[in-house]
Amino acid sequence: VDESGESHRFLRAEGCEVIIGELTRGIGMTREALIGIGSGADVLMGATIRGGLLDRDFFEKFPDLRVVSKYTIGIEDVDLEVATDLGVIITHCPTEANWGGVAEGTLGFILALLKRLRERDAHVKKGGWRSPDLRGIYLGRRGDGYTGITVGIVGLGRVGSRVADLLAPWRVRILACDPYVDRATFVRHDSVGVDLPTLLRESDVVTLHCSLNMQTRGLIGKEELALMKPGAVLVNTARGAILDLDALCDALEENRLIGAALDVLPEEPPEKGARVCSLGDKVILSPHMISANGAGTLAAAIPWATEATLMALKGNVPNHVCNVDAVPKWKKRFGGKALI
């Protein structure tokens, strides 16, 4: 949400009528609320919708809709196939402030888990001091023969490749699994391309950075977690539905894995008393804001989304289109037809 209101004022100055929905902080706007305020809109602009999918039933309530212009990167709340079929363009904002922030937060998670920072903090605050039970794990290779740890990165896109780059000075071994990138990408980020089972078996840290789609939904389940090394840790800063949360809780309760860090959950926010919230120091939880680093994160995305909105209203195909197959039908419907 543009809390400064600058983009709203700019759009109004360009001749747009701007309707601003009521945001439930921490949850976002729901599908039903958006339908309630946006009926008849030519453009929908904002962040990810919680608690509902922008599906055919939704789009049919917006017969004049040209574009859904998102501040965020993720588009899992939109049925792209339906939007494409209807000639509605979906744009997003893959700003470096966003995906780079996710990568930095991921590294923080990894270090917190391996160096046992939460446990050490709690121990000292309770009156304790040094204890062999609080020993961490040294990450990098050493000259005395210690080979260091292996980090497995699932998804070597923007976030995953930045994580690999951030890990480079730590001299760890990096495995990566991504069927959609070429061999040169693995080499460029000093990683070894492997299949998922190999990555799970050999990694001390597994970190998830793939998009959520039909192929990745439930990608890491009971069988996959069973392949992981005893004593390994898992980090998920991608999407909650990629990981079977109950299976992860089982692995942690049975001490097959020693820790996990999650910025995303299948249900957000989790219900009070949720199992994952009862695992103590075995799990570090973050409220799906690992990339939130002050005004700089969103500030970079707002101009992109505003530009996409104006271009569409002027009858031009906007930048950063997710469903490029929608463009031909969009041009037939709206091309050259300016509203402002």
21-59 pLDDT per residue, tens: 876 555 567 888 888 887 789 999 988 777 678 999 999
The rounded distance, in Å, linking the Cα atoms of 3 and 131 is 47
- Burial of 156 from C-beta contacts in 10 A (0-12 / 13-18 / 19+): buried
pTM of the model: 0.89
CA distance 178 to 157: 8
> What is the residue whose two structure tokens read 């998009």?
211
Residue ranges of E strands in the chain = 43-46, 67-70, 89-91, 150-154, 173-177, 192-193, 205-208, 232-236, 257-262, 283-285
CA trace torsion 196, 202, 208, 211 (10° rounding): -20
The active-site residue out of 92, 162, 189, 239 is 239
Check 268, 275, 307, 333 and give the catalytic one. Answer: 268
Inform me whether the pLDDT recorded for 298 exceeds 80. Answer: no
Same domain, 249 and 275: yes
Longest Cα–Cα distance of the chain, Å, equals: 71
Contact 171, 140 (CB under 8 A): yes
> pLDDT tens digit string along 119-178?
999 999 999 999 999 999 999 988 888 999 999 999 999 999 999 999 999 999 999 999
Query: Is 183 considered catalytic here?
Result: no
Domain range for residue 82? 6-92+293-334
Confidence of residue 184 (pLDDT cuts 50, 70, 90): very high
Has 288 been annotated as catalytic?
Answer: yes
Q: Are residues 264 and 134 in the same domain?
A: yes
Residue 333 falls in the annotated catalytic set: no
Same domain, 136 and 281: yes
Catalytic residue among 66, 162, 173, 288: 288
Residue 286 and residue 269: Cα distance in Å, rounded?
10
Q: Answer whether residue 339 is part of any domain.
A: no
**Number of structural domains the chain divides into:** 2
Average pLDDT over residues 246-250: 99
330 and 218 co-located in one domain: no
